Amino acid sequence: MVDLIKRAKELLESSAVKVVIGYEQGTGNKTRALFVEKTEDADKLIFDSRCIQNLAAYVTKKEVKEKGKMAIAATLPVMRSIIQLASEFQVNDNNLLVLGITPESNLIEFANLVEVETFVHQYQIEIDARNKEMLDKLAKMTSAERWKFWVDELAPCFKCYACRAACPMCYCSRCTVDFNQPQWIPVPSTELGNLEWHIMRAMHLTGRCIDCDACYNACPLSIPINLLTKRMLVDAKEHFGNYQPSLKGDNLMSTYKPDDKENFIQ
C-alpha cells in the first residue's frame, strides 16, 4: 500500500505522530500488527484481505499509548471501534489520527474523528449471510436444544481470554472475571463457569460491539462466540433501535454523563 507508506513517513518525519499502527507480513501466511516509529520501518507496512485483526485493540494498550500521538491504519470495523472508544472517552483527536482504508482499499484522510464518524455512518452494520443463517438456525431450536448447543460449543473453552484481549471494547483495566473478593463469575473453566463468562461478555458488549469478529478470530479453539454478540446486536436493534457508534455518546443501552445529577455512581 504505497499511499499508506508515504503518509506514514510524512507523519513521522514531521513529528505529527510518534507511532503509526498498521499491518506487516507475519510468519507463514499470517499478517500481524506493526508499530512504526522510525520512517525506514514504514516500508514494511502492507494491506490486503488477510489484514483482519482489529488494530483498535492497541489504542488503549498502555505500552502503545505511552509512545505519544498515534496514527492508525483503520478499516471500517477499526473506524467503528474508534468512534465507540471515543464516545467512551478512551481516544480523542489529540492522541489519535485515523488513516482510513475504505472498503474499496483506498486510503482516506480524516482531519478529525467527526469526519471519521460521518464516514462510518454511511455504512450499516450488517451480519454476514453465513452467520445470519446460523442465528436463524439457533432461533428455530427449542430452548433445550439451544442450551445443549451452547454447552457443547463452550465446553472446550479453557478461559485463555484471547476473546477479551483481542476485543477493542474490552479495555477494562480489571475485568469482572478477575475479581475473587467478592467473586462475580466462577473462575474455573467448567460448564457453568464458561457459560457465565461468555454470557456476561455478550451482555457487557451489547450496544457497544461493532461486530468485527475479533473475538472469534482470536479464539485458539475457534468457538463461535461471536454468535452471542451477533444475537445481541439483532435483539438490541429490535427493542432499542439501530446501532451506530456515535461521538455524541448516546449509547443504545446506556448513558453516562460526567455531570449526572445522581451521585451513587461517582
Partner 1 sequence: MNIDKRLVRKDSLEKLFDILKRNSKTIYAPFTKNGKSTFRDTESFGAISTGYIQTTESAKDIAFPRTEKLLDFSKSKEGMSVKGTDLNDIPDVILWGVRPCDASGIGELSSIFNWDYKDEIYINRLSKVTVFGFSCSKSDEYCFCTSVGGNPGNTAGSDILFTLLGEEGDYLAEIITEKGLAVVDLAQNLFEKTDISGKEKFLAELPVKFSHEDIRLKLDKFFESKEWIEQSLRCLGCGACAYVCPTCACFDIQDEAHGKKGSRVRCWDSCGFSHFTVHTSGYNPRNVQSARWRQRIMHKFSYMPERLSVYGCTGCGRCSRACPVDMNILEHLISIQEVTV
Interface with partner 1 (CB under 8 A) = 26-28, 30-35, 53, 57-58, 61-64, 156, 158-162, 164-166, 173-174, 178, 180, 183, 186-190, 193, 217-224
Query: Least distance to partner 1 from the beta carbon of 266, Å?
Result: 22
Query: Least distance to partner 1 from the beta carbon of 253, Å?
Result: 26
What's the CA angle centered on 197, arms 32 and 134, to 5 degrees?
70
Sequence-distant (6+) residues with CB within 8 A of 92 are 86, 113
**Grid coordinates representing 148?**
445443549
Residue number with CB closer to partner 1 (3 or 41): 41
Alpha helical stretches, state H, the chain: 2-13, 62-65, 76-87, 113-120, 129-140, 143-154, 162-166, 191-205, 214-218, 226-240
Residue number with CB closer to partner 1 (165 or 234): 165
Query: Least distance to partner 1 from the beta carbon of 188, Å?
Result: 4
Residue number with CB closer to partner 1 (61 or 148): 61
Cell 475457534 belongs to which residue? Answer: 222
Residue number with CB closer to partner 1 (88 or 178): 178
Query: Least distance to partner 1 from the beta carbon of 158, Å?
Result: 5
**Grid coordinates representing 36?**
512504526
Residue 139's alpha-carbon distances to 41, 98, 229, in angstroms, are 49, 38, 14
Query: Least distance to partner 1 from the beta carbon of 115, Å?
Result: 28
Residue number with CB closer to partner 1 (48 or 109): 48
* CA–CA gap between residue 263 and residue 266 (Å, rounded): 5
What's the CA angle centered on 50, arms 213 and 93, to 5 degrees?
65
* CA–CA gap between residue 211 and residue 105 (Å, rounded): 20
Residue number with CB closer to partner 1 (60 or 84): 60
Query: Least distance to partner 1 from the beta carbon of 219, Å?
Result: 8
